[in-house]
């Protein structure tokens, strides 16, 4: 990535955009990234925005209209809540990862006279629990009710799916599917890509205030994301190595702590009370492990936790040492 940035600077790629995309801020690097991303993810079109938070806000304030219904998962990201509150549509919460609950809400809303379009918002992989959404089932609900499915792939892009295309790879390109791929996690850069049908992207370009009025993302960062997408395609060993490390960590967690894993690179260790979570986090940090305690309101009351995120910056020996340390401190701090 560093070499790619040096090459881009030497080619004359600007660091700053200087303005909004619709005025002077548009750059060939933005357009090249969007074209390449659409092809890579299998979407009709892609839009590059400054980050995942602002991209979710852009989607939910622009697309669902007055008279529409937005049904969202109970554990959806905070940025979606901000977008819903600032948007025009009615919004209702569904139980976590429960397609039937979503369907029941839609049916009840229609029975009570709801006439507008329905939008369903989920994450493909949840940031604090590490569990996967039942995407096929949610899409079936969307199809039955002529609804749109919005999928936040923030924690799956680069990690899951063919060439790291995410958990929604099999569904992108459908006319009722909108996917958000963030660029600041596995891709090692910054920004976010909204992948959707062309007509919806064109609507966002003309109606989404975060796209219209914000200074465009750095052209240099667009170049960085382009290179990251190439790495996903040409160096699959990175994705495979992480998958093996995740599988190893899950086995060790069961063996050494008696805990089941999440099935992903996000391993939550739910300990209950706030004080215990922070005490355990401090203990692990004192041994050199960068593990943070997570408390309400980020997670529900009574579910404070340690959030362990596995990356290729560690190896199996370090994971074993970390889990041994975790087991020791869990035993020493039972409450």
Per-residue pLDDT of the chain (335 residues; tens, 9 = 90+): 999 999 999 999 999 999 999 999 999 999 999 999 999 999 999 999 999 999 999 999 999 999 999 999 999 999 999 999 999 999 999 999 999 999 999 999 999 999 999 999 999 999 999 999 999 999 999 999 999 999 999 999 999 999 999 999 999 999 999 999 999 999 999 999 999 999 999 999 999 999 999 999 999 999 999 999 999 999 999 999 999 999 999 999 999 898 888 999 999 999 989 999 999 999 999 999 999 999 999 999 999 999 999 999 999 999 999 999 999 999 888 77
The CATH number fitting domain 2-234, selected from 1.20.140.10, 3.40.640.10, 1.10.260.40, 3.20.20.150: 3.40.640.10
What's CA 76's distance to the chain center, in Å?
A: 10
- Cα distance between residue 8 and residue 333, in whole Å: 51
What architecture is domain 237-332? Alpha-Beta Complex (3.90)
Q: What is the DSSP letter of 162?
A: G
Runs of H (alpha helix) within 112-181: 135-144
| Residue pLDDT, tens place only, 256-287 | 898 888 999 999 999 989 999 999 999 999 99
- Cα distance between residue 83 and residue 86, in whole Å: 5
The two counts, helices (H) then strands (E), for the chain are 12, 10
The answer to whether the bond into 18 is cis (omega within 30° of 0) is: no
Same fold, 2-234 and 237-332: no
Q: Give the predicted TM-score (pTM) of the model.
A: 0.95
Q: What is the DSSP string of 200-262?
A: HHHHHHHH-HHHHHSBPPPHHHHHHHHHHHHHHHH-THHHHHHHHHHHHHHHHHHHHH-----
Q: Where are the domains of the chain?
A: 2-234, 237-332
Rounded to 5 degrees, what are φ and ψ at 246?
Answer: -65, -45
Element (H, E) at 89: none
Nearest residue to 69 (alpha-carbon basis) of 179, 150, 134: 150
Runs of H (alpha helix) within the chain: 2-10, 28-41, 52-62, 78-86, 99-111, 135-144, 198-207, 209-213, 219-234, 237-257, 274-286, 316-332
Structure tokens at 326: 């975790």
């Amino acid at each position: 990535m560093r070499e790619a940035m040096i090459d881009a600077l030497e080619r004359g790629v600007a660091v700053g955009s200087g303005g909004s995309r619709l005025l002077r801020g548009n750059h060939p690097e933005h357009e090249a990234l969007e074209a390449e991303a659409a092809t890579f993810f299998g979407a009709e079109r892609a839009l590059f925005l400054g980050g995942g938070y602002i991209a979710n806000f852009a989607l939910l304030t622009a697309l669902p209209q007055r008279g529409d219904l937005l049904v969202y998962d109970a554990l959806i990201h905070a940025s979606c809540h901000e977008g819903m509150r600032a948007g025009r549509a009615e919004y209702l919460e569904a139980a976590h990862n429960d397609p039937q609950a979503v369907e029941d809400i839609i049916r009840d809303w229609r029975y009570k006279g709801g006439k507008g379009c329905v939008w369903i918002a989920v994450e493909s992989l949840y940031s604090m629990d590490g569990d996967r959404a039942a995407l096929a089932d949610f899409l079936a609900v969307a199809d039955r009710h002529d609804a749109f499915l919005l999928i936040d792939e923030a924690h799956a892009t680069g990690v899951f799916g063919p060439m790291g295309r995410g958990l929604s790879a099999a569904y992108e390109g459908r006319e009722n599917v909108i996917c958000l791929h963030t660029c600041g996690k596995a891709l090692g850069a910054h920004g976010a890509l909204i992948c959707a049908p062309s007509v919806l992207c064109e609507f966002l370009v003309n109606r989404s205030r975060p796209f219209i009025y914000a200074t465009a993302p750095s052209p240099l960062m667009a170049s960085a994301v382009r290179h990251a997408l190439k790495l996903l395609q040409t160096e699959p060993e990175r994705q495979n190595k992480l998958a093996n490390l995740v599988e190893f960590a899950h086995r060790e967690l069961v063996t050494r702590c008696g805990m089941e894993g999440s099935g992903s690179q996000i391993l939550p260790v739910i300990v209950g009370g706030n004080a215990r979570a922070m005490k355990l986090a401090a203990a692990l940090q004192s041994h050199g492990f960068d593990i943070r305690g997570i408390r309400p309101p980020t997670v529900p009351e009574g579910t404070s936790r340690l959030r362990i995120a596995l990356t290729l910056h560690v190896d199996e020996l370090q994971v074993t040492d970390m889990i041994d340390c975790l087991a020791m401190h869990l035993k020493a701090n039972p409450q």
